[in-house]
Structure 1
Amino acid sequence: MESEEQASEPRTGGFRPQIESQKFSSENPFFIVKIMQDNLSRSRTTIPNAFFTKYFKKKQPNVKIQFENKLWPAKLLYYPSLYKAYISSGWQPFILPSNLKAGDVCVFELIKVEERVLDVHIYRADG
């Protein structure tokens, strides 16, 4: 696994989705994000800085989020002085159809480097 973002446990859900997501394995690069209420109310989610700088070019902001064979176009934001990167516009349209909730854990797998497609695997907090 390339890198991972960790956050404190939300009040909903438990450690099960986090433990299950740790078992994810792929030849493709991937990163893990635990969904917090902040990810749902804001229009972005974090990409680990090391992952962003290794696999994405700063001047190419377009990416596609894939879940259950559906694609959502999104934009990447990068703030080098803050060492922060985000999936921005396109994140909110993805939240509702994917039924994301606080406590879920998402594995973002880069399945097509040239086309910049991130396949999302969701480990549900509610089982």
Structure 2
Amino acid sequence: MALRLPEKFVREYGNKLSNVATLTAPNGSIWQVRLEKANNNIWFRGGWRDFVDYHSINYGYFLVFKYKGNSKFHVLVFDMTATEIEYPSSRDKKRQGNLKENGMSTSRELCVKHEVDTELIIIENSPTSSTRGSVLSGGRERALQAARMFKPKNPSFIRVIQAYNLKCSYVYVTTEFAKKYVQRKNFVKLQASSGKRWLCQFRYRDGSSTPKTIGKGWKSFVTDNGIKAGDACVFVLINSLDVVLKVSIFRMAEYA
């Protein structure tokens, strides 16, 4: 298991990186991850799986790496609702580490497939860089809070829309929700507040009976409903037989 660093970051800092990166989590745990360099690319290789497993990083999580210089990164982990995780006690730390893709002022998001699909954000260590604030700032955080206050009676899950959800035309379904309610289903209908529905297709990992993402049809739903990065969407199961999810959209722009 490995993860590639963003091209722009590599162009600027690649020659300054050693063969081992040091990752520090908020709980104080320190992880050594081997860097593999080939064909103008740099990958986090040895230790990456350990970091992922230790922090229970799942599909759709995104990670923020603040570059401190000297091949050292401070790492934050956010789950699929853009909530920072509860980190394990550093006393229980086992071995080594992980990462994923985007940039801040170097901001760029790519449709890259990895064994664990997360979103990587690397922020340069500058006086204006506010690590958490840069990810959950202003309207985005307030939109998320509004979505959390919405308490439907039916099963539901929340997704904060990221740029890759728009560019790559898919959105993750939370694993817990998928296992309980939509196993072995091929299609899902997304219903807007107007009552109009869009037919979409579930995507599966090879050999899995649990859908990982909503794919084909998602782009049309996003476009027709004007969904933007930073909006918080609440997916509510209103018909389990036909798998109809009513989507309530809490728009970042309205909470800015």
- TM-score, normalization by structure 2: 0.45
CA shift, 1:6, in A, is 2.5
SS, match of residue 189 in structure 2? strand
Find the counterpart in structure 2 of residue 20 from structure 1: 146
Decide whether aligned partners of structure 1 residues 80 and 109 sit closer, same or farther in structure 2, where only a CA change above 3 A counts.
farther
Give matches, 1:32-111, under 5 Å. Answer: 32-58=158-184, 60-67=185-192, 68-79=194-205, 85-111=212-238
Decide whether aligned partners of structure 1 residues 52 and 126 sit closer, same or farther in structure 2, where only a CA change above 3 A counts.
same
Decide whether aligned partners of structure 1 residues 80 and 12 sit closer, same or farther in structure 2, where only a CA change above 3 A counts.
farther
| 1:16-43 CA distance string (max 9 Å, x none) | 1011001011110000000011111012
SS, match of residue 252 in structure 2? coil
Higher RCO, Cα 8 Å, sep 6+: 1
Q: Which range moves more in the overlay, 83-92 or 48-57?
A: 83-92
Distance in 2 separating the partners of 1:56 and 1:115? 10
Unaligned segments of structure 2, at least 5 residues: 1-78, 83-131
Distance in 2 separating the partners of 1:45 and 1:101? 13
SS, match of residue 126 in structure 1? helix
| 1:62-96 CA distance string (max 9 Å, x none) | 11000021100001112277987100101001011
Q: Residue type of the partner of 2:191?
A: Q
Q: Is the 8 A contact 2:161 2:231 kept in 1?
A: yes
Identity %: 32
Distance in 2 separating the partners of 1:66 and 1:89? 15
Query: Which of 68, 75, 81 is residue 6 of structure 1 equivalent to?
Result: 81
Decide whether aligned partners of structure 1 residues 80 and 54 sit closer, same or farther in structure 2, where only a CA change above 3 A counts.
farther
CA shift, 1:5, in A, is 1.9
Decide whether aligned partners of structure 1 residues 39 and 5 sit closer, same or farther in structure 2, where only a CA change above 3 A counts.
same
Distance in 2 separating the partners of 1:13 and 1:102? 11
SS, match of residue 169 in structure 2? coil
Find the counterpart in structure 1 of residue 25 from structure 2: none
Greater Rg over alpha carbons, structure: 2
Q: Residue type of the partner of 2:176?
A: A
Q: Which range moves more in the overlay, 73-82 or 17-26?
A: 73-82
Distance in 2 separating the partners of 1:45 and 1:125? 18
